[in-house]
Amino acid sequence: MSPRHYRQTAAAAASPLGQTREQLFQALNTGEHGLSQTDIPARQRQYGLNQISFHRAHSPWRMLLQEFIALFPLLLLGAAGLSLLADHLSPGEGYNLIGSALLGVVVLNAAVSFLQNYKVEKLMLSFLDYIPKEVALLRDGKQHLADAKEVVPGDILSLQEGDKIPVDGVLLQANQLLVDESILSGESEPLNKTALEQGSAEAVHLVSSGATVLKGSARVLTTQTGRATKIGSISELSRGVSQDLTPMQRELRYFVRRITWLALGIGLLFFIIGFVIGNPFWTNLIFAIGIIVANVPEGLLPTVTLALTQSSVRMSRRNALVKHILSVETLGSTTVICTDKTGTLTRNKLHVERLYLDFSEIDLHDPTALNSLPAARPASEIMALCNDVIATDGTTQGGNGFHGDPTEVALADFVEAHGGYAAIRDRFEQLHSRPFDADLKYMSATYRSPAGTLYLTVKGAPDVVIERCSRVHGEASVRALQRDGRERIEQQANHYASQGLRVLALACSEVEMPEAEPQDLVFIGLVAMVDPPRPEVPAAVAACHSAGIRIVVMSGDKAETVAYVARKLDIVQHPRVIEGEQVAAMSRAELAEVLEDDQVVFARIAPEQKLTIVECFKEQGEVVAVTGDGVNDAPALKRADIGIAMGQRGTDVAKEASDIILLDDNFATIVKAVEEGRGVYDNIKKFITYILTSNIPEILPFIAYVLLPIPLPITVVQILAIDLITDILPAIGLGNEPPESDIMRRPPRQRDERLVSYHTFIRSYGLVGPVEALLSFLVFFWVLDAGGWQWAQPLAGNTLLYGQATGAFLTTIIFCQIGNVMACRSNRQSAIAYLLRFNPWIWSGLVVEVLFILMILYVPLFHGFFSTAALPPWIWGGILLAPWIIFAIEELRKWLVRRGVSWLAA
């Protein structure tokens, strides 16, 4: 057959709706006996394999390269290049050490980030097991097993209970077929499907790839495979969705640009000043490079990476897998969570919610209320006997031992919890069963009772069953069903249905023949079921409200069910339900107006409509998190600022599109993750403030050295010691501070709030940094004066006095930073309470700092390398006072901020 014929075939079969059985066979060039094996190779060349690539494997080398080309690593690499240039121009001044150290920092940071991302990459690849391995095919009139990847349009497949459907197709045969399509549509209730025998194909005759057969068996004519299926098209839609930079990426980019221009500006300024005072060109250039490099916070990149990585590890212990470490902070800045309902807010398992017996609703939380009613016994019998579930060995373990139609599983679970499913069925002998019929809307089963009578049990749609009832079990007796009683029952059934509950009527009768038609029945009661909220969700919803985070439900389920769940969970008080068709008809301006209503929820929503809602929220300046587990959630998951997929029930498409995967499918885990994200943002802000502060006492000595006739107070090697040894551990400690107690009672931070603002620079460069520099200069000149140095007197770098003076300058900076790190443990509140609060990273850092400075001061082996010498004991009084001065200045600043002096806020 020609390729042209296959293209025509594909177009004809692309939409089987409206086509007859014969037209489909003709369009696909197949028949009742299936394809011929000789046709398969040509069709596979035309249509490709029946597989969908949900996750494109990333090359490890490419992943590693990406760690080096982000803006911050490029800044450090640029600074390393300048340092190596300065060393070439003026060897022996330590610039080669700065260049090597900066390169080492970039490599170390890349390694840490790469290992975290590679670990997640391997885990993502392990998820990919979506299309079933083998299927039963009919070819040349014979059935045989084949790899599901080999299925092509025109193939006829056999499906059994429990199978995952690997193709889109039309049902040629169906025996009591019940299909779960919730991962595609978001609708929690399973769908009854029937075969296309007469007339044209309708939705009830179609099945989709990714759906699961809950009950029954079928034969399917394949119309679409691979990417051409419904699940494949949604996967492709999500691939085409662009992702914005995360808030943390935007902030780090802003900070790197700011610090780069600041460093270049100061370097250029003093390059010009050098010319004004008469220094030669190369001296000025080397000096300018020193100024620029000193402005670069070498330790900031690894500290940020480590803080985010450690936060990711903590979240993984709480069952939240972070695919991209920057996503940790994004969740903390979330203002809106758009959540799916089925499987996310709810258990994706039906449960008996209401029971109406004896013309009254039963309190199911009170076991005595049910047992006291005479109608409770026949109600339990009907739920157990008029039921086709399969009971397994786990029946006694909390109702997890039933398999079959979710509605019938819910009834069996209820009976098991209130008397025992097996105990009831063991007393009766089944004689006849009439399976549920989608046209008749009821199911019946006849049993021989222990007394020897024939006992007919019926369950089904309330209007159908009530119509067949002439009597009612009420007030401890069976009596005629009067008109007012019938109206009361119908009114109650309608009330349950309006709340989104799935309602069944229960009835029974003694009959003469096992095959008797259900007539003249005794009405027993109504049972209303719902996919119940997960037990941990209400507290999580309350926590989101306290944190100022809005929750918006976007579900493919029907309006009544969405409204019921949203109200039950207290997400909204008075739900305003907007359906997908309404969203599709709205302009962006109209949708934006709808989203202003905090009571709005969405039902019957399609993937492209979810995407539109997310984009509209983002246009309004919201930071949007989207949760979901189905294929229909994938495009919105990818477009959101942060996508959160369910790990257990979630599809591979959803997991690929997401940034975070909840391994326990627990909505409450999101709240813990939000708290972690807010905490890590606060902590990153704290240690950036801490690290930037030491830049001033590192830069000013170079400026003073050029402008004034004094020895250089600090060497390049000493600067490296501060940035990469003594500041790192305390900074990591700040990154691991526990969240402040009120962190989930604050509103989300504003989208335009800067991680590093002008206030941060004022605090670090205009207040604390200059004080640290002043204290260090005072100690430096104190040592020089005590050693007999005179103003403008040359002082060789290898003398004892110079080693003592530079050692004192370095030690004072380090001890000032001790006071600074303790002050940075709180943003606005007094940090006095934190002085004795144990943080192992901070206290370990302080111990390392003290041991390090004592070692380089008092161990002669290190004197030459670090340009230090042993300090006289009397100088320690001034040095030990320095951290308390810094801490006191910070306490005064915070006190003024709390009283309204906003320009001093960090």
Question: Which of the residues are catalytic?
Answer: 340
CA distance to 298, 824, 849, 865, per residue, from 819 (Å): 21, 9, 12, 27
SS3 317: helix
CA distance 441 to 466: 12
What is the phi-psi region of residue 794: left when phi exceeds 0, alpha when psi lies from -120 to 50, beta otherwise? beta
CA distance 402 to 349: 12
Q: What is the CA radius of gyration of the chain?
A: 36
CA angle (543, 546, 552) in 5-degree steps: 75
DSSP-assigned letters across all residues of 417-457 = HTT-HHHHHTT-EEEEEEEEETTTTEEEEEEE-TTS-EEEE
Report which of 854, 823, 848, 881 is spatially closest to residue 726, judged by C-alpha positions: 848
β-bridge mates for residue 146, sequence order: 135
Is residue 467 within 8 Å of residue 521, measured between CB atoms? no
Q: How many residues does the chain have?
A: 906
For 454, list phi and psi in degrees, rounded to 5.
-90, 125
CA distance 723 to 700: 16
Cβ-proximal residues to 719 (8 Å cutoff; 6+ apart), any chain: 98, 294, 698
Cβ-proximal residues to 287 (8 Å cutoff; 6+ apart), any chain: 270, 271, 274, 279, 702, 706
CA distance 213 to 209: 11
CA distance 629 to 345: 11
Cβ-proximal residues to 841 (8 Å cutoff; 6+ apart), any chain: 729, 730, 732, 733, 735, 736
Q: Which residue has the tokens 């209007």?
A: 463
Report which of 327, 117, 231 is spatially closest to residue 651, judged by C-alpha positions: 231
Q: Between helices 300-317 and 95-127, what is the axis angle to 10°?
A: 20
Structure tokens at 463: 């209007």
Is residue 784 within 8 Å of residue 801, measured between CB atoms? yes
CA distance 186 to 167: 19
For 755, list phi and psi in degrees, rounded to 5.
-65, -45
Cβ-proximal residues to 140 (8 Å cutoff; 6+ apart), any chain: 33, 34, 35, 36, 37
Report which of 544, 500, 505, 547 is spatially closest to residue 746, judged by C-alpha positions: 547
Is residue 86 within 8 Å of residue 95, measured between CB atoms? yes
Is residue 91 within 8 Å of residue 285, measured between CB atoms? no
DSSP H/E element including 546: helix 537-546
CA distance 484 to 554: 40
Q: Check the CA dihedral 497-503-509-514 and report its sign.
A: positive
Structure tokens at 307: 């803080």
β-bridge mates for residue 221, sequence order: 156, 170
CA distance 349 to 342: 9
